[in-house]
Amino acid sequence: MTATLIDGKAVAARLKQRLYEHTIRLKEIHDLVPGLATVLVGDDPASEVYVRNKNKMAQSLGFHSRSHRLAANASEDEVLDVVKTLNADPSIHGILVQMPLPPQIREAAVLDILDPGKDVDALTAANAGLLMSGRARLVSCTPMGVMLLLKEYVGDIAGLEALVIGRSLLFGKPAAQLLLAANATVTMAHSKSRNLPELCRRADILVAAIGRPEFVQGEWVKPGAVVIDVGINRVQGAEGASRLVGDVAFSAAAEQARAITPVPGGVGAMTIVCLMRNTLIAAMLAAGLDPALL
């Protein structure tokens, strides 16, 4: 392997420490304790783990943390009522409704009543619009994690060709906006794109968020490119045990790239810490404080 390994765990640990110190100062100087509420509907095991980890990290940072659990057959109105109560609660600055929701609950209905100031996943139309207008306050966590990794490992990306594969609301679209705001020349690809290998070969920064194991081939990677693998896919290993792989064929891509994120230990490590960062930002904005220092 010739590429530098982008150590998301280490960057995330340093960011977490900064957030911790900031939280202590907020409490001492402003008597402000950030509050995060999670809402979990149903009993999907993966969602349960995600929500538990989010609450645990919030507590470890000294945040006030609360979790709401609803049955898998909860009605849309029941979920909306919980969100409305949290919207009105001044001790809660961030509300995270764990997606996906059961089919009887429309995600758009939930996002439409969620207070954009407490939307720490940055999925509401208001926060997407602010990002598009260059006035973002809360930015989607995984794209923000990617930008922080690029800042640390690449620095200025102005003028570089960036390709984002995937156009989801959660990742692809906000990631493209952030790369554009950082003056990269951005291309977005998706399942209908033609000539994906060619698009990849042009990219100085190749970002894959597809959800297909090891889909991006090593020979598609431009020599010297920076590869950011957002995908998290569980596959069966040789001995029957499952393991996690990304959307990029890691070993072959690492022979071509200048730097690459591993899976796990790359982008994934940043996401949860960026959620905490958003909660802190939301708390500061609610108190009329400037979050620019974060």
Could you give the residue numbers annotated as active site?
54, 98, 121
Residue 192 lies near ligand NAP (rule: CB under 6 A): yes
Q: E strands, the chain, where?
A: 4-5, 35-41, 64-70, 94-97, 161-165, 185-189, 205-208, 226-229, 233-236, 242-245, 259-260
Residue 233 lies near ligand NAP (rule: CB under 6 A): yes
Residue 231 lies near ligand NAP (rule: CB under 6 A): yes
Q: Which stretch binds ligand NAP (CB under 6 A): 197-205, 209-217, 219-227, 250-258?
A: 209-217
Least separation, in Å, of the C-beta of 65 and ligand NAP?
Answer: 20
Least separation, in Å, of the C-beta of 231 and ligand NAP?
Answer: 4
Q: Which of 114, 179, 210, 221 binds ligand NAP (CB under 6 A)?
A: 210
Q: Which of 128, 196, 257, 283 binds ligand NAP (CB under 6 A)?
A: 196
Residue 142 lies near ligand NAP (rule: CB under 6 A): yes
Least separation, in Å, of the C-beta of 10 and ligand NAP?
Answer: 16
Give the DSSP per-residue string, 56-83.
HHHHHTT-EEEEEEE-TT--HHHHHHHH
Cβ proximity to ligand NAP: between 47 and 233 the closer is: 233
Q: Which of 78, 191, 223, 234 binds ligand NAP (CB under 6 A)?
A: 191
Determine the Cα–Cα distance for residues 149 and 147; give it in Å rounded to an integer.
5
Cβ proximity to ligand NAP: between 167 and 258 the closer is: 167
Q: Which of 271, 276, 280, 282 binds ligand NAP (CB under 6 A)?
A: 271
Cβ proximity to ligand NAP: between 74 and 225 the closer is: 225
Cβ proximity to ligand NAP: between 44 and 81 the closer is: 44
Residue nearest to ligand NAP according to CB distances in the complex: 168
| Cβ atoms of residues 87 and 113 within 8 Å | yes
Residue 257 lies near ligand NAP (rule: CB under 6 A): no
Residue 245 lies near ligand NAP (rule: CB under 6 A): no
Residue 165 lies near ligand NAP (rule: CB under 6 A): yes
Asked if the peptide bond before residue 223 counts as cis, ω within 30 degrees of 0, the response is no
Residue type, 162: A
Least separation, in Å, of the C-beta of 216 and ligand NAP?
Answer: 9
Residue 167 lies near ligand NAP (rule: CB under 6 A): yes
Instruction: Label residue 240 left, alpha or beta by phi (over 0 means left) and psi (-120 to 50 means alpha).
Output: left
- 258-276 burial: b if 16+ Cβ within 10 Å, else e: bbbbbbebbbbbbbbbbbb
Taking the alpha carbons of 211, 215, 216, 220 in that order, is the dihedral positive or negative? negative
Q: What's the angle, vertex CA 152, arms to CA 133 and CA 136, rounded to 5?
A: 15
Phi and psi at 101, nearest 5°, equal -95, 155
Q: Which of 268, 279, 281, 286 binds ligand NAP (CB under 6 A)?
A: 268
Residue 11 lies near ligand NAP (rule: CB under 6 A): no
Q: Which residues are CB-contacts of 57 (< 8 A; sequence separation ≥ 6)?
A: 16, 272, 273, 275, 276
- Helix (H/G/I), strand (E/B), else coil: 53: helix
Contact residues for ligand NAP, defined by CB under 6 A: 142, 165-168, 170-172, 189-193, 196, 209-212, 230-233, 267-268, 271
